[in-house]
Structure 1
Amino acid sequence: MKDTTQASRNTSTAPVDEVLPLTQMFLYGLQHVLVMYAGSVAVPLLVGSAVGLPREHIILLISADLFICGAATIIQSIGIRQWLGCRLPLIQGCTFAALVPMMLIGKQYGLSGISGAVIVSGVFIICCAPWISKMLRFFPKVVMGGIVTLIGLSIMPVAGGWIGGGSSDMQGFGELFSLLMAVITLAIILTIYTFASGVVKNTSVLIGLIIGTVLWGCFRPLDFNLVHASPWFHLPQAFPFATPEFHIVPIAVLSMVMVVVMVETMSTMMAIGDMVGKTVDTKMLRNGLNTCGLGTLICGLFNLFPYASFAQNVGLIGLTGVRSRFVVTASGIILMLMGILAKMAALVVLIPKPVLGGAGIVMFGMVAVSGVRTLGQVNYRNNNNGMVVALTLGIGLMPVVVPNLFNQFPPMMQLFLHSGITIGTLTAIVANLMLNGRVPFKASEALTPDPLPPTAAARSMAVRTVRMWLLLRKVNKEQSQQD
């Protein structure tokens, strides 16, 4: 009786709310951390260097960032009361959208000016979240599918940069050894994903990253300098390096950037909702934005930077098929531990970028696959849906394929135009309204969960067919006995 009750409970639990065994949650959570770590620490590294912080202070800045990032991720996945957390497997981290504006602000106003602008921008997100989240009706399948596909294609250059070894303007970018290690890492991941099963299959990215790093270390020395320079323990402290100062121009610029961040965060939440089979409503969008705003506000108090959702982890969900939000909760706990244990945080920096890039190919590609699947559910007959998708991808990819296209525009406009996800999202909404008219949002337009894989679907059909045949045979036998 107990087993039956437990089985019925597991059957009724949605995949996003499933609690996995602790060992699995740790492994899957660590995999998420390794995927997002490079992007998370890049912003404190670049901004800290731009404002002239010494290396020791930048390390402490990274530790504090990881700790708060973990706390925000836990809140986002678990939820607190009725206004915080979207209760989706959503990873929080420093956004690249505000990187260039913060570096410009830092050069003129210093870290104090950045911190003041970050605090106000966090308040700005919280104030705007209730009405921006009501834009849900502007996201039917044709719009959402185009946006998710655009997200996957737009972040693919990040994987390309990792494969080459960093930035394209650096010396030695794209050398043969880096490309070879990326291919080897990709081959390891694909081999494990294809031939393994269970936990081993779902942690193929984690295993590939570990093996790739070990192989890299056999040919080239890994840089342990950052590990040696890091303290063993470090707790975040408020205003560690500068007291916030509030200036009109930095606040206005960063608040405008936060509009971009909110649009991208909503797109990511809906993409994850599509993958885990959960309809994302207005309340979830509002709670997710509230968490981003609160995390950004707290970061400003610790001389840190604005937070947003990490799109690269969306691809990992699609690749592994692990949809539980509690896995991301485990990621948040790991991030907080890494924030306290500064040397542990520095160890992850050892993963070479080409190795990370090899894994990024499949992860980011899975984001695009999710969008293509959604677009496959759209009706293209006797409507303009095809044109809406064409405009979304065509205009949204312009900043990706031609990065300098909008350099002649004023700096304030460039903040928006250089984000392909932002202009693609706005294009999709406007094009759908103009070409298809104002069609009210219907329940049938809600994003549906992934269908069964072909093999599973065929197996299910075969089982039902055999059961029906056995039932008919039994009925015929009973009738013949009665005759």
Structure 2
Amino acid sequence: MSTPTARGTSKRTHPVDEVLPVPKLATYGFQHVVAFYAGAVLVPIIIAGAVGLSQAELVKLITADLFTCGIASIIQAVGFRNVGVRLPLLQGVTFAGVSPIIAIGLAHGGGAASMLYVYGAVIVAGIFTFLIAPVFIKLLRFFPPVVTGTLITIIGLCLVPVGAMDAVTNPHTHETDPTNIRWFLYAVGTIAIIVAIQRIFRGFLATIAVLLGLVIGCAVAFALGDMDFARVGEASAIGFTPPFLFGLPKFDFVACLTMIIVLMITAVESTGSTIATGEIVGKRVKASDIGNVLRADGLATTIGGVFNSFPYTAFSENVGLVRLTGVKSRWVVAAAGGFMILLGFLPKVAAVVASIPNPVLGGAALTLFATVAVVGIQTLGKVDFTDHRNLIIVTTSLALALWVTAYPDIAKAMPTGLDLIFGSGISIGAVSAILLNIVFFHTGSGGPRVAGNGSITLGEVNAMTKERFTEVFGHVLQDVPWAVERAYEQRPFADTAALREAFQDAVLTGTSEQQAELLEAFPDLGAEDETGQVLAVDHVALSNLDDADHNDVVELATAYRSHFGFPLIICAKETERFDRVLRNGWSRMDNSPAAEKAFALIEVAKIVNHRFTDLVADANPVAAARFSRLNELS
């Protein structure tokens, strides 16, 4: 039995919302910038070289990129209204857009004039992404763990070659030289330093292992003559890239459509990164959070088009850094955004970071990218691989992604349209996982898919053993054995409405002793586990309370249990405001014990009904629509 836990002396701040002391905030934020910097500047460097921009124009693109990356990161981490997810997601220019942007530029003659069409397409795609967010949320039922886990794993694995390439790149000529053992030793040495710091030290030093690894690696490279600061002397002291550097944007239909497709692929990537970050920091990611992420991506991309930059998404290497360091505060990413804005004004300072030798940076990148892949593997740990359909989804998508990553020229053999999908391993892997999940779990016969993220049909429910039925549906009835068994005994179910009725009947038809057991299975309002997480998981109104409000809830729950002998149960979906929870609870203290027990059972029935709706709606939009009409008639 759970009991309320009063914690009047402790701070009730989730680690994501914790504001660290300024020195730590600055250090952790700068570590994010260092981990991010190479990837941030690589995109404008590749694009500028491919479309034929001058060196001066390239410098302006880099400073513009840093400036807008900072703005985008602050929008995502800090957030306002329904824009920004408020998680430690650092934003950077997506690699998925590199090939399409180069194609748009070359299609319009290359050079500075072609960038007008690029930025026109970027602005249109950004606005489209912002507006399409509510529609994209409704498609999330097609992203169960088998899809998101596969996607996150692919993101990590497909980025490993980027770090590997840096690890064997000559820092003087910037050409790959895999036969030179010197560059190999720099990369391996940096990895060894990071691992050693993590193993030997604890606390603050362990959390900045990546930054220390880079600093020590750079010190060794400088001592051996493999790092110089020539770029710093050549850079201007202060510089800023004004909006519309190349002139007012121009709009081409094909270019805009191409960039919209890129942003939709990026939306899937952002969804995977957001879910991964939610797993890392211990915060549940809801459908509305994904909408906030996409609005921030769309807004940041639009700003990028104005300030001479490109489409934005969450940078996966920084997701890996959050996992590696254990520092979960979103304000660290906001601080990193501030640093990037500053770097956008200070080319000399940016040049210092740009001077990190490629092999040193590559060694750190290999660690971060591999960490992202591990997060995906952990997500896949929730998938039932005894079902061959899940196995096919994962293996096929991984195979296609790694094939394209190993042989990127495959895209050149594809017709227009398909070359975009085959342009990167992340793109083809995402498309494969999504389509295969739809083919295997959302099409065909067998009745409506009522559970298991769309993998279980009504016919399969009717054929389930009692153990499997309990595994799938037990949480709907708070895992109370007699209630689950009573629902199970009502098989076969003619339709999903009959399945719903089975759960409702189980709640209301038990004996007095069974109903008392069911009520006791629910936690007291205000009760927490040893980590401080609220146990009443259905109740959003109690998820983020300050100490005073939390103590008010504990006081109410304690008085209620003392008076009636069972926990106070209130349906969250119908009482979402904290003040209403208190008002509802105290008003029920005047009921007689018999009347209050009946009232509590009705609240339990409401919770069961909502849990069932969530389970079915997440798996099958058709069933969700049917239940909506049924509720309107009842």
The TM-score by the shorter chain falls in which range? 0.7 to 0.9
Distance in 1, matches of 2:286 and 2:428, equals 23
- 1:423 pairs, out of 419, 423, 428, with 428
1:114 is aligned to 2:122: no
Report how far residue 334 of structure 1 moved: 0.9
AA at the equivalent of 1:399? V
Partner of 1:154: 158
- Provide TM-score, normalisation by structure 1: 0.85
Which amino acid in structure 1 is aligned with residue 38 of structure 2?
A
Distance 1:330 1:169 in 2: 31
Match of 1:271 among 269, 273, 276: 276
1:124 corresponds to 2:123? no
Instruction: Provide the residue aligned with 1:97 in structure 2.
Output: 96
Distance of aligned partners of 1:45 and 1:383 in 2 relative to their CA distance in 1, 3 Å threshold = closer
Q: Does 1:298 align with 2:300?
A: no
Greater Cα radius of gyration, structure 1 or 2: 2
Displacement after TM superposition at 1:399 (Å): 1.1
Partner of 1:351, secondary structure, is coil
Say whether the 8 Å CA contact 2:165–2:176 is kept in structure 1.
Answer: no
- Equivalent residues in 2 for 1:170-319, closer than 5 Å: 170=175, 172-319=177-324
Q: Distance in 2 between matches of 1:274 and 1:295?
A: 24
- Deviations along 1:117-163, one digit per CA (max 9) or x if unpaired, are 21112112112222123222222222222222222111111111111
| Aligned-partner Cα distance in 1 for 2:232–2:8 | 46
1:372 maps onto 2:374 in alignment? no
Match of 1:465 in 2: none
* Post-superposition offset of 1:230: 2.1
The alignment partner of 1:305 has SS state of: coil
Q: Match of 1:453?
A: none
Structure 2 SS opposite 1:279 = coil
Structure-1 residue corresponding to 2:55: 55
Report the Cα offset of residue 440 of structure 1.
4.8
**CA displacement 1:347-373 (0-9 Å, x = unmatched):** 110111110111122211111111222
Aligned residue number for residue 18 of structure 1: 18
Deviates more, 1:373-382 or 1:145-154: 373-382
Kindly provide the amino acid, as one letter, of the partner of residue 365 in structure 1.
Answer: A
Question: CA 1:100–1:141 in structure 2 vs 1: closer, same or farther (change >3 Å)?
Answer: closer
Contact 1:138–1:441 (Cα < 8 Å) also in 2? no
Q: Give 3-state SS (helix, strand or coil) of 2:313's partner.
A: strand
Q: How many residues align?
A: 441
Q: Cα offset for 1:439?
A: 4.9
Structure 2 distance, partners of 1:7, 1:173, is 58
Q: Is the 8 A contact 1:137 1:441 kept in 2?
A: no
- Paired residues of 2:89 and 2:333 also in contact (CA < 8 A): yes
Most deviating of 132-141 and 376-385: 376-385
Structure 2 residue aligned with 1:163? 167
Residue from 346, 351, 359 that aligns with 1:354 = 359
Q: Does residue 393 of the first structure (1) align with residue 398 of the second (2)?
A: yes
SS at match of 1:155: helix
Deviations 1:54-76 (A, max 9, x none): 32332222112211110110110
Superposition pairs of residues 16-55 of structure 1, within 5 angstroms: 16-55=16-55
- Report what 1:449 is aligned to: none
Tell me the distance in 2 between the aligned counterparts of 1:160 and 1:382.
35
Report if aligned partners of 2:222, 2:228 keep a CA contact under 8 Å in 1: no
Structure 1: 5+ residue stretches without partners: 446-458, 461-483
Matches within 5 A, 1:303-342: 303-342=308-347
Aligned mate of 1:141, from 138, 141, 145:
145
Q: 2:72 is paired with a residue of what secondary structure?
A: helix
Q: Deviations over 1:330-389 (max 9, x none)?
A: 111111111122211111101111101111222111111112222223333466333332
1:7 CA drift (Å): 4.8
Query: Does structure 2 retain, via aligned residues, the 8 Å contact 1:117–1:251?
Result: yes
Aligned 8 A contact 1:125 1:293 in 2: yes
Determine if contact 2:99/2:423 at 8 Å carries over to the other structure. Answer: no
TM-fit CA distance, 1:43: 1.6
Q: Which of 2, 10, 30 is residue 8 of structure 1 equivalent to?
A: 10
Q: 1:387 to 1:259 in 2, by over 3 A?
A: same
In 1, the alpha carbon distance for the partners of 2:18 and 2:451 equals: 33
Pair 26,6 (structure 1): closer, same or farther in 2 beyond 3 Å: farther
Preserved contact between residue 96 and residue 427 of structure 2 (Cα < 8 Å): no
CA–CA distance in structure 1, aligned partners of residues 340 and 196 of structure 2: 29
* Offset from partner CA, 1:189-226 (integer Å, 9 cap, x none): 11101111111000000000011011111122434333
State the SS of the aligned residue for 2:440: helix
Task: Assess if the C-alpha contact under 8 Å between 2:232 and 2:351 holds in 1.
Answer: yes
Partner SS, residue 308 of structure 1? strand
Query: CA offset at residue 271 of structure 1?
Result: 1.4
Secondary structure (helix, strand or coil) at the match of 1:93 reads: strand
Higher RCO, 1 vs 2 (CA within 8 Å, ≥6 residues apart): 1
Please give the residue correspondences for 1:438-449 in structure 2 after superposition, counting only pairs within 5 Å.
Answer: 438-440=449-451
Inter-CA distance 280–174: structure 2 relative to 1 (3 Å threshold)? farther
SS at match of 2:95: coil
Stretches of structure 2 lacking an aligned partner (at least 5 in a row): 1-5, 109-113, 443-448, 454-470, 473-529, 532-634
TM-score by length of 2: 0.65
Q: Partners of 1:182 and 1:7 in 2: how far apart?
A: 47
Amino acid across the alignment from 1:39: G
Cα 1:6/1:220, change in 2 over 3 Å? farther
